[in-house]
Amino acid sequence: MRAPSGLHPDYVSLAEYQAARWTDVLGVARFNGSPTLGDTAGPTGVPVAQVSTPLLTAATDVYEVWRGGEPAESGQHDRVRFRRSGDTLFGCIAVTEEESQPQADCAARSGRSGAHSALHTATTHAYQQICATLQAQSYPYLLRVWNYVPDINRDTQGTERYWQFNSARRHALSASGRSVAGNVPAASALGAASDSPLVVYFLAGRTAPAFLENPRQVSAYRYPRQYGPHSPVFSRATLLRQPGGLTLFISGTASIIGHRSVHVGDTAAQTRETLSNIAALLEEANRVSRGAQFCLGALACKVYVRRPEDLPVIQTELKSALGEGARVIYLQADICRQDLLVEIEATGMYPLAAVA
């Protein structure tokens, strides 16, 4: 099958990446255990996000490669490495808590109100730099963001680290003049290894996407305070229209109805409910686009599994819903709520020529 012409991901091995020699690569996510990419494998200066979550497949060298369909150029703004084409920018940043700890300790010793944890400080720093990069490069719209937070479910300083991350992300976006509800990007936030940095990679554009919500769920930015003092800042999906076609970015999706986790303890039922939520988003995207026909079997999916022993159950459910030929990679990662066992994010592409 011919590759999509617009913005899209490919999940490939190192050998496949080297053999393809694509010239339109915007950025790469490299997962735990995968070998480094040499400059001879593709264009020089490609930003690579090192994600400290292990693959749960026989292949140990799968890469997530984002391609834009046109030539691109690389650059760096402070700590953010990026690569951009005419309409799209991929960027990534990694910030360790060790480097943020002195600033957090100084605030605590000074008795300043609002003194925060090292994770809060690292998150604030990362998002400030992301926002500054987008402003400097004139890519105002965040389309999709991936966040990998070490020990996401652990409590420190009296609160869960995911809540600390959410507070810092909201504060940094708001301080940079960005929306924290409504017109906000699709996103995921997953756990990562204890000794890893906070890693954020993202896609931004010069054209505003459509911001989609799931009619089966409360918008994440409207969650009640039982899920933390500050709600997560993301839309359930974003839909980008480019000259070559439509790209649908589906946020990390789980077994949540309204705002509550459902099917607690039942991995198979959680997987099915998650797929029902994704199907509802596809229906919403097809309605908004007026002619597209996004479907489950055509999605590129990244599946996060809390307990590796649940992988066969999850794979069975996905094969039943998506078909044998679906493009899926599986990663072991903690999920933002401790009662959730699986989370699925996805990307769909649809050619504009097929839209009436």
d(CA 43, CA 22): 7
Which 3 state secondary structure label does DSSP give 170? helix
Annotation: CATH topology of 8-354: 60s Ribosomal Protein L30; Chain: A; (3.30.1330)
Asked if the model's pLDDT at residue 110 lies above 60, the reply is no
Identified catalytic residue from 160, 273, 317, 343 = 343
* Range of lowest pLDDT (34-48, 59-73, 78-92): 34-48
Give residue-wise pLDDT tens across range 119-132. 999 999 999 999 99
Tell me the sheet residues that pair with 306: none
d(CA 281, CA 255): 14
d(CA 61, CA 15): 9
Mean pLDDT of the chain: 92
Which stretch of DSSP H or E encloses residue 42? Answer: none
Task: Report the pLDDT value the prediction gives residue 3, as an integer from 0 to 100.
Answer: 52
Asked if the model's pLDDT at residue 188 lies above 80, the reply is yes
Give residue-wise pLDDT tens across range 212-271. 999 999 999 999 999 999 999 999 999 999 988 999 999 999 999 999 999 999 999 999
The model's pTM is: 0.94
AA letter at 174: S
In the annotation, is 97 catalytic? no
Asked if the model's pLDDT at residue 82 lies above 70, the reply is yes
| Residue 193 DSSP code | -
Q: How many CB atoms lie under 10 A from the CB of residue 323?
A: 12
Instruction: Give the orientation angle of helix 267-289 with respect to helix 311-322, to 10 degrees.
Output: 30
Q: How many CB atoms lie under 10 A from the CB of residue 262?
A: 15
Residue 229 contacts residue 116 (beta carbons within 8 Å): no
Asked if the model's pLDDT at residue 106 lies above 70, the reply is no
Give residue-wise pLDDT tens across range 335-351. 999 999 999 999 999 99
